């Protein structure tokens, strides 16, 4: 069995890897490297590798101010799905969110990402809202862990 190596994106190469996974999986919300640099300052980001091969990434948005809600997002590139990597990334991100004081866990999935929606629902998330961002046509789904 191969071991997944999960790391914080603490250099330009890992930031670019996180950006790549994010942009492949959620193209309507494609981010520049500057966007990723800003995001890593306020969220916990990680990238996952199988040996030297990029597999996926995670985002944990910790609770802010008077909120006890964290957002957990696990992304696995299509060619690496179905091998338990999503489960490992999700479990790790969920643990991080809870360690940050989260009492409520949410996720957000691009509506067109049917595999991501199935994964979230299989893990106990229920839909709370569907929306498109102003000026955009892509539909997003917010889900909350039940």
Cβ-proximal residues to 47 (8 Å cutoff; 6+ apart), any chain: 6, 7, 9, 14, 17, 18, 21, 54, 56, 57
d(CA 56, CA 74): 8
Q: How many domains in the chain? A: 1
CATH number of the domain enclosing 35: 3.40.630.30
Structural domain range at position 81 = 4-145
Query: Crossing angle, helix 12-25 and helix 33-42, to 10 degrees?
Result: 100
Task: Give the global pTM.
Answer: 0.93
CA within 13 Å, CB half, 96? 20
Cβ-proximal residues to 31 (8 Å cutoff; 6+ apart), any chain: 19, 22, 23, 39
* Contact call for residues 17 and 9 (beta carbons, < 8 A): yes
Q: What is the pLDDT along the chain (146 residues), one digit of tens a residue?
A: 568 999 999 999 999 999 999 999 999 999 999 999 999 999 999 999 999 999 999 999 999 888 899 999 999 999 999 999 999 999 999 999 999 999 999 999 999 999 999 999 999 999 999 999 899 999 999 999 99
């Amino acid at each position: 069995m191969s071991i997944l190596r999960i790391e914080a994106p603490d250099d330009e190469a890992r930031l670019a890897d996180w950006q790549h996974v994010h942009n492949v999986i959620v193209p309507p919300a494609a981010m520049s490297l500057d966007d990723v640099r800003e995001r890593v300052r306020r969220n916990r980001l990680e990238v996952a590798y199988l040996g030297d091969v990029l597999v996926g990434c995670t985002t944990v948005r910790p609770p802010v101010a008077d909120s006890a809600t964290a957002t957990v997002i696990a992304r696995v590139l299509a060619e690496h799905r179905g091998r338990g990597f999503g489960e490992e990334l999700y479990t790790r991100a969920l643990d991080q969110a809870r360690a940050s004081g989260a009492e409520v866990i949410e996720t957000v999935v691009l509506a067109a990402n049917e595999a991501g929606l199935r994964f979230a629902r299989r893990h106990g998330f229920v839909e709370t809202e569907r929306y498109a961002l102003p000026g955009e046509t892509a539909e997003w789904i917010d889900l909350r862990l039940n």
